[in-house]
Structure 1
Amino acid sequence: MTSLIRGRPRHATGHIGVRVGHAVLGGVAGVVWLVLPVMTSVAQDPVPATGGGPVAAAPADGAGETEGTGGAEGAGEAEGAGEAEGASATDYVLPLVAVAAAGALGGYGYVRRTRRARSRTTPGIVSAQPPTPSPVDLERQAGAALVLADDCVRTSREALGHVDADEAVIRALRAAGTELSAAFAIWQRYGEGVPEDPVGRRQALVGVVGRCAEAGRQLDAQAAAFDAGWDTADALTAAEGRFRELAARAAGVQDALARTRERYGPAAVDAVQGYVEQAKDRLVFATGRLNQARQEADSGDGDGYRRGLRAAQGAVAQAGVLLGAVTRLVDEVRTAAGLLPAALTGAEAELAGLRRTALPARPVHADVVLAAVRAELTAGPYDPLDALRRVVRAVEGTGGGRAGVIAAGAELVTRSALRAADDFVGVHRGAVGAQARALLAAAGSAAPADADRLARRARELAGRDVRAHGNPFAGEAAHESGLAGVVLGGVLLGEEGDGGPVVAFGGPDTRRRLG
C-alpha cells in the first residue's frame, strides 16, 4: 500500500479534487434552489396590520363604499394566501430532486474510484515500475549482448591490424576483451547451473549484460582516436597490396589442399571444406570496394572513401583467415602423421608400465584404441589428426602422457581444434550464436584435454547456427559480387539490399558511424 501511494502521480490527486469540487458545487446549487423560494416569499409578503387599536372611521357618506371595498379586499387576501401556500409546496420538489441527484452522482463516483484503485494499477505506477522481465527474456537479452560485444571486439581487433594505433586504443581493446571474457565466464557458469537460487541467477544475467555494456563503452570511447590514426595512414595502398598477395596465393593453397585430400582422404581436411572458394568470394567483393575507395579518394569524397576502404579491409582480412586456416591445417595434418608412429609406441610403453604396477588403470580399452589406430595406418587413407587425438585420449586418466611425444601430440590436437573453431566463428560471425562463442571462450582457458573437447563442441554448434541461419543474400548476383560472404562474415550488417552499413572499429554506439 505504501508503494502504491508513493507511486501515485500528482495529476491523479488533482483529478480527484476536481471531482469532489463538482459534487460540492452540485450540492450547493441544490441548497440555493431549496432556500430561494422561501426568501422570495418572505420578501413579497405585505407589512402586517398594527394590532390592537381601532381603525379610524371614514366619513358617513362613504361608509358603504368602505365596507364594500374592505370585504372585497379581505376576500382577495384570503384567496392569495391559499395560492401562496400551494406555490411554496411546489417549489420545494425540484430542489429536493436536485440535491438527491447530486448526492447520488457523488456517491457513484466515489464507489467507482475506490473499485478502480483496488482492481488495477494506475498508468502512473506502471510507468514508474516497469514489468520485470522473465528469466527467459533476460537470458535472451544476455545472449544478444554477448554476441554483440563479441562482434565488436572481433571487428575492432581486425580493424586494428590495418592502422598504427596509439596506446590508448590498444588498451581500450584489451580492456574490452577482459570484460568480454568475464561475461562469457559468468554465462558459462550460469549454463552449468551456478548459482542455483533464482535471485542469484537473475543477478548473474544482469552481470553478463553489464560486462558486455562496459566492453562496448571502452571501444566507443576510442573510436575517434582510432579514426585519427586510420586517416593518417596510407591504408588504401596497404589494403591493395594485401589483396594482390592473397589473390596470388589462393591457387597454391588450393593445390596443397587437393594433394592432402588425395593422400589422407576427405575426412582429414573436412574442417576447411569450401574455405578456398569462400576466400575467393571475399576477394571478389574486395575488388569492387577497393576500386570504389580509389575513385572516392580521387573525387575528394572522404565518407565514401572510408566506407569503401573499411569494407575492403574486412573482406581482405577474412580472405586471409580462410586461406591461412587451410594452410595451417595442411601443415598440422602432416605434422600429426609424422608424430603418430612415435606416439603409438610411447603409448604402448606407458600402458605396459601401468600393468606392472598395482595402480588402477584402463589398459584394456586403451589397447583396443591403439590397435585400431595401427590398423588404420596400413589400411589406406586416414585422418592423422583424429588418429593422434585418439592415441592421446587412450592414455588420458592413466597417469601417463605428461611428457614426451604424447604431450606434444596433445598440444598439437588441442591447438588445432582451438584455431579451427576461432577461425570458423570469426568468418561466420553474422550467424553464430552465444553458446558456441561461450564454449570457445571457455576452451581458451581450460586444460588441454578439456580445451580440445570444448573447442570441437563450439565448432559443431557454430556450424549448426550457420546452417540454421541461412543467408538472405544467397542469390546468384549476391554470390557473384561476393556480397553473400561478407554479410555472413559480419563485414556488412546485412540490413539493406546492398548489404547495409559496414562495421567499423568501436562499440555498439559507434560501429555504424561509416553509414
Structure 2
Amino acid sequence: MAHTALGGLIGVMWLVLPGMTADQEGHESHEVPVSVLGSAPAVSEAPAVAAQEEETSTGDLVLPLVAAGAATAVAAYSYARRRRRVRTRTAPAALFPVAQPTAPELDRQARKSLVAADDCLRTSREELGFVEGLFGAEAVAPFTEAVRYAETELSAAFQLRQTYDDNPTDAYRDALDEIVARCVDAGRRLDAEAAGFDQLRALEQDMSGALRHAEVRFRELTGRTGAAEATLADLRERYAPSASLLVSGQVEQAKDRLVFATTGLNRARQSADLGDPERAVLQLRAAEGAITQAEMFVDGVDRLASALAAAAQAVPDALDEAETAVVETRERLAEGTADREPVGALEGHVSRTEAALTAVREEAAAGPYDPLEALRRVSVVSAPLGTVPGALRLVTRWATDAADVFVGTHRGAVGAEARTRLAEARRLLDRDPAEADAFARQARELAERDVRAHGNPYGGRPEHTNGVAGAVLGGILLGDLPDAEAEALTGGTPGSFGGPATRARRGVAP
C-alpha cells in the first residue's frame, strides 16, 4: 500500500511539474510591460493579466497539494515499515513461505515473550541498583535509560495483552504479533547495553569494591531482618490475623535468601583469593540477587506496618464520608430526585451500605481488626452511592506492592497472566484505584496458583537447606532446580543485566 501511494505521488509530480515549469516559462516570455511611472496596464492587456493570475493561482495550489500528498505517502510508508518490522522481528527469515503459527501457538509465544522480558527487566533493575550504589547515578545513566525504555515497551506489551485477554477474538494475530515485537525491542535494548555494563563493572579485573559493597548491604539487611521479625510479631498482636497474612512467611524467606547469599559471598571471596575471577563473579552475582530479594521481603513487612497504621487513622473518616453519602441518597429518594438508577436498586445499595458500615464500626470497636480490609469494604459498598473514600488509594498501593514483591521473588514459577494483571494494576493505580485494587488482588492469587502448581520437590528436606531452591524459584539462578543444585558449588548460572541474549552470559565456570 505504501509503495503504491509513493509511486502514485511520484507519477503525479512527474506529470505536473513539467507543466508548472512550462507555465513559469510562459509567464516569463509574456510579461506585461509596466510603465516606468508605475501606471496601470492598458485595458487591452487586462485579459492577459487575468489569464496570468489564474495560471499563477493554479500553480500556487499545486505545490501545497503535492506537499500534502508527500506527507501522506511518507506516513503510509512509515506505517508499512512498522508492520514489516513487527513481522520480521517475530518470524524467522526463510527462502520459502512458511506456515503461519496457529492462534494457540502465537498465544504461547506471546506469553513466553512477556515472561522472558519481565524477568530480564527485573534482573537488570536489581543489578543496576548495586552498580548505582557503587558508582553513582551519573555513571549508570545510559543503563538507567535502557531500563526505562524496556519498561515503556513492556508496559505497552502488557496493556495489549490485557486488551487481548478481555477480547481474544479481536484481531488476535496483530495484537499478539505486537506483544512479541515490543518484548523483543525491550530485550534488544538491554542486550545492546550489556557489554558496556560489564565494562563499567570490570568484575573480572577487580571485584574487591563490588564485593565489599555487597557485604555491607548484607550486614545491614541481616540486622533489618531481625527487626522485621519483631515488627511482624507486633502486627499479629495489634491487628486481626488477616492483616498480616500476605507477609506471614516473608521473614523466613528473607532468611533463606540470606543463607544463600552468605554462601555466595564467602565462596566469591575464596575464589578471588585463589585467582579464579570468573567463578568469583558467578558467586558474587548470585549473592547480589539473593540480597536484593531478601531486601524485598523485609521491605514488604515494613511497608505493611506503615500501611496498617495509616489505614487505622483513615477508617473513621472513610466511615463518616460513606455515611454522609447514605444520608444524601436517602434525602434524594425522599424528594424523588434520585435519578441515577432505579429507586429500588438505589434503596438496596443504601441498605447494604448501612449494614456494612455498622459491621465495620463494631469490628473496630471490639478489638484487633484489619484496617486495610475495612477501608476496602467501605469503598466497595459506598461506590454505588457515588463516593469512594480517598484512602482507597492507600489500600490499592499496598495491594499492588505486595503482589509485585511476590511476583518478583517467585518469578521462576509465575506466568504471564499474573504479570499482566499486575501491570494493569500499576497502570490504573492513579486513574481508578478500585479497579486497580481488583487487578492487584487477582495478580497475587494467580501468582500463588502458579507457585503451587510449580511445587518445590526439595522443600523441607534437610540436605537442601542451602537456599538453592529459593534462588531458583526467585529467578536468581537460571534453569531447573536439579541443574542449579549440581552447579551450586561453582556458582550456577546467575541472571545478569541484559536481555534474553545476554542475561545468562555468566554461565558455570569451566
- TM-score w.r.t. length of structure 1: 0.71
Please identify the structure whose Cα radius of gyration is greater: 1
CA distance in structure 1 between the aligned counterparts of 2:441 and 2:268, rounded to whole angstroms = 39
Against the structure 1 CA distance between its residues 252 and 147, is the aligned structure 2 distance closer, same or farther, given a 3 Å change threshold?
same
Is it true that 1:326 corresponds to 2:297 in the alignment?
no
CA distance in structure 2 between the aligned counterparts of 1:227 and 1:460, rounded to whole angstroms = 37
Against the structure 1 CA distance between its residues 483 and 390, is the aligned structure 2 distance closer, same or farther, given a 3 Å change threshold?
same
Deviations 1:390-416 (A, max 9, x none): 112222132223xxxx21x11110111
One-letter identity of the residue aligned with 1:292:
R
1:195 positional shift: 5.7
Partner in structure 2 of residue 65 of structure 1: none
One-letter identity of the residue aligned with 1:411:
R
RMSD: 1.8
1:293 positional shift: 1.2
Deviations 1:404-452 (A, max 9, x none): xx21x11110111110111110100000000000011111111111111
Is it true that 1:513 corresponds to 2:505 in the alignment?
yes
Partner in structure 2 of residue 439 of structure 1: 421
Against the structure 1 CA distance between its residues 335 and 479, is the aligned structure 2 distance closer, same or farther, given a 3 Å change threshold?
farther
CA distance in structure 2 between the aligned counterparts of 1:489 and 1:480, rounded to whole angstroms = 15
Q: In 1, are the aligned partners of 2:143 and 2:193 still within 8 Å (CA)?
A: yes
Matched pairs, number: 382
Written as runs of structure 1 = structure 2, the 5 A alignment for 1:395-414 is: 395-401=382-388, 406-407=389-390, 409-414=391-396
Q: What secondary structure does 2:130 align onto?
A: coil
1:473 positional shift: 4.2
* Equivalent residue for 1:150, pick from 106, 110, 118: 118
Q: In 2, are the aligned partners of 1:280 and 1:319 still within 8 Å (CA)?
A: yes
CA distance in structure 2 between the aligned counterparts of 1:268 and 1:171, rounded to whole angstroms = 38
Unaligned runs of 5+ in 1: 1-125
Q: In 2, are the aligned partners of 1:392 and 1:410 still within 8 Å (CA)?
A: yes
CA distance in structure 2 between the aligned counterparts of 1:430 and 1:249, rounded to whole angstroms = 26
Deviations 1:155-199 (A, max 9, x none): 101110001343221111111111111111111111111662xxx
Is it true that 1:307 corresponds to 2:282 in the alignment?
yes
1:354 positional shift: 2.5
* Equivalent residue for 1:352, pick from 319, 323, 327: 327
Is it true that 1:129 corresponds to 2:73 in the alignment?
no
Is it true that 1:501 corresponds to 2:475 in the alignment?
no
Query: Alignment identity in percent?
Result: 50
* Equivalent residue for 1:370, pick from 352, 357, 360: 357
Partner in structure 2 of residue 229 of structure 1: 200
Is it true that 1:394 corresponds to 2:381 in the alignment?
yes
1:263 positional shift: 2.3
One-letter identity of the residue aligned with 1:134:
T
Written as runs of structure 1 = structure 2, the 5 A alignment for 1:39-188 is: 128-164=96-132, 165-188=139-162
Q: In 1, are the aligned partners of 2:325 and 2:386 still within 8 Å (CA)?
A: no
Q: In 2, are the aligned partners of 1:473 and 1:483 still within 8 Å (CA)?
A: no
Partner in structure 1 of residue 220 of structure 2: 245
Partner in structure 2 of residue 486 of structure 1: 471
1:373 positional shift: 0.8
1:127 positional shift: 8.0
Q: In 2, are the aligned partners of 1:263 and 1:381 still within 8 Å (CA)?
A: yes
1:215 positional shift: 0.8
Deviations 1:182-240 (A, max 9, x none): 111111111111662xxx21121111111111111000000011112223772111110
Q: In 1, are the aligned partners of 2:478 and 2:504 still within 8 Å (CA)?
A: no
One-letter identity of the residue aligned with 1:204:
A
Deviations 1:273-305 (A, max 9, x none): 210000000000000100111122222322112
Partner in structure 2 of residue 203 of structure 1: 174
Unaligned runs of 5+ in 2: 1-93, 133-138, 341-345
CA distance in structure 2 between the aligned counterparts of 1:132 and 1:477, rounded to whole angstroms = 50
Q: In 2, are the aligned partners of 1:478 and 1:484 still within 8 Å (CA)?
A: no
Deviations 1:360-406 (A, max 9, x none): 443222111111111212334321110111112222132223xxxx2
When structure 1 is superposed on structure 2, of 460-469 and 392-401 the one drifting more is 392-401
Deviations 1:132-153 (A, max 9, x none): 3221111111101100000000
Partner in structure 2 of residue 452 of structure 1: 437
CA distance in structure 1 between the aligned counterparts of 2:266 and 2:463, rounded to whole angstroms = 18
Q: What secondary structure does 1:162 align onto?
A: helix
Deviations 1:81-104 (A, max 9, x none): xxxxxxxxxxxxxxxxxxxxxxxx
CA distance in structure 1 between the aligned counterparts of 2:225 and 2:413, rounded to whole angstroms = 25
One-letter identity of the residue aligned with 1:387:
A
1:477 positional shift: 4.7
- TM-score w.r.t. length of structure 2: 0.72
Q: What secondary structure does 1:128 align onto?
A: coil
1:475 positional shift: 5.7
Q: In 2, are the aligned partners of 1:281 and 1:479 still within 8 Å (CA)?
A: no
1:472 positional shift: 4.1
CA distance in structure 1 between the aligned counterparts of 2:106 and 2:265, rounded to whole angstroms = 42
Q: In 2, are the aligned partners of 1:479 and 1:485 still within 8 Å (CA)?
A: no
CA distance in structure 1 between the aligned counterparts of 2:284 and 2:180, rounded to whole angstroms = 32
